[in-house]
Structure 1
């Protein structure tokens, strides 16, 4: 299984759940919620594409919930839920867990 290819290296990817009005808020204030969501989806797809073949373990940390059908291949990315009150705490907890 690819998921445990290289346990010595770990890539953590922190993401917001891609929902209208919930991501890229500063950008959305200028271009609108739908355009901001569209751009965010492009960025997520790009991130998945450029990381999928890296020789390391990979974990995706979702902000609200772990969706059943997402763009992160379950055989290549472990999926976690972010824990904490702010981004710093959520990142700290992710690093501590990793």
Structure 2
């Protein structure tokens, strides 16, 4: 694990799926078909992996589904270890991933998905820099959710009682942070690609 200037050990959690036809970007696929949706997802994986690699932050990939074939390394994430996400809703799965990172010795942990084409290494680096002087860092998404969440200790309330994949998630998370008296920093707002409207906006159509 790499350390920040104040001694915090950094770790990045990546929530992802394997790029398998019919199992990724299902909302998008309903409009453009499974094959086109898979191509978009592969492109998003490449963007995310490039940002992670450029940032040089130790990372673990947490897969939503087990690989079809046993493998020690995922070709989409060369050099990165991977684990399976546990059962439960998104909040439960994220909390479990954060807990695993903290138990392993990390003291500054961030989580991202693979839906954000605007994500760059600078956003990841900025998140950990901000975390030196804040309790949590949030990367707001234009759809009302977030593309990144970082913290220095596990705050379970941030993962409880959320309507995941809705426009209420970010506001509810910030409200819980306020209740806990946490110091919050925000990254630049970025757009996720989940629907055909998101895709058209990304492509500039």
**TM-score of the superposed pair, with normalisation by structure 2:** 0.42
* Count of aligned pairs between the two proteins: 92
Give, in whole Å, the separation in 2 of the partners of 1:30 and 1:14: 24
Work out whether 1:82 is the aligned partner of 2:85: yes
In the TM superposition, residue 18 of structure 1 has moved relative to its aligned partner by: 1.5
Work out whether 1:70 is the aligned partner of 2:71: no
Q: Unmatched 5+ residue regions in structure 2? A: 4-8, 102-205
Q: Counterparts of 1:1-98 in structure 2 under 5 Å?
A: 4=1, 6=2, 8-66=9-67, 68=71, 69-74=74-79, 77-98=80-101
Q: Unmatched 5+ residue regions in structure 1? A: none
Give, in whole Å, the separation in 2 of the partners of 1:31 and 1:95: 34
Give, in whole Å, the separation in 1 of the partners of 2:59 and 2:97: 12
Task: Please report the RMSD computed on the Cα atoms of aligned residues, expressed in angstroms.
Answer: 1.6
Give, in whole Å, the separation in 1 of the partners of 2:40 and 2:57: 27
Give, in whole Å, the separation in 2 of the partners of 1:20 and 1:54: 29
